[in-house]
Amino acid sequence: MHYCETEFIVIRPPRGNEAAKMKEREAALILEKTKNCDFIVLFDERGKSMDTKKLANFFQQRMNAGTKQMALVIGGAYGFSESLYKSADAIISLSQLTFPHQLAKLVVCEQCYRAFTILKGEKYHHG
């Protein structure tokens, strides 16, 4: 994205047959990859619902607060562990619907792009 430096990190889902243990192993991997981030956002159905303008405002507030690096995290097939929920700085809902991981990634990218066009006063977002 040309508005900010962006890096995509894909974490391979841990193997196993017990969801709780898999979520904890995945949480450890996520926390390792995000340890240098100022702010961690989980995208989760239990999160706060917001429209694109509110997302833009959220980003502006984080930038005003001096956030230099923000991790936007999409959970695995079983969702997030309780330890990851506790480590998160914010939880945002994309929808109450369940999306495949690749579609969720696309929606997050699109909404971030729209949010930045709003912040920059550009004409991409109509609404």
Count CA within 13 A, CB hemisphere, residue 60.
Answer: 13
CA 5 to chain centre: 15
pLDDT of residue 2: 77
Inside any domain, residue 3: no
pLDDT of residue 50: 96
What range does the domain containing 23 cover?
19-120
Inside any domain, residue 6: no
Cβ(26)–Cβ(58) below 8 Å: no
Inside any domain, residue 32: yes
pLDDT of residue 1: 66
Inside any domain, residue 48: yes
Closest CA relative to residue 11, chosen from 24, 25, 30, 28: 30
Digitized pLDDT (tens) for each residue of the chain, 127 residues in all: 678 889 999 998 888 889 899 999 999 999 999 999 999 999 998 899 999 999 999 999 999 999 999 999 998 888 999 999 999 999 999 998 888 989 999 999 999 999 999 999 998 756 6
Inside any domain, residue 46: yes
Inside any domain, residue 62: yes
Number of domains in the chain: 1
Question: For residue 38, what is the domain's CATH number?
Answer: 3.40.1280.10
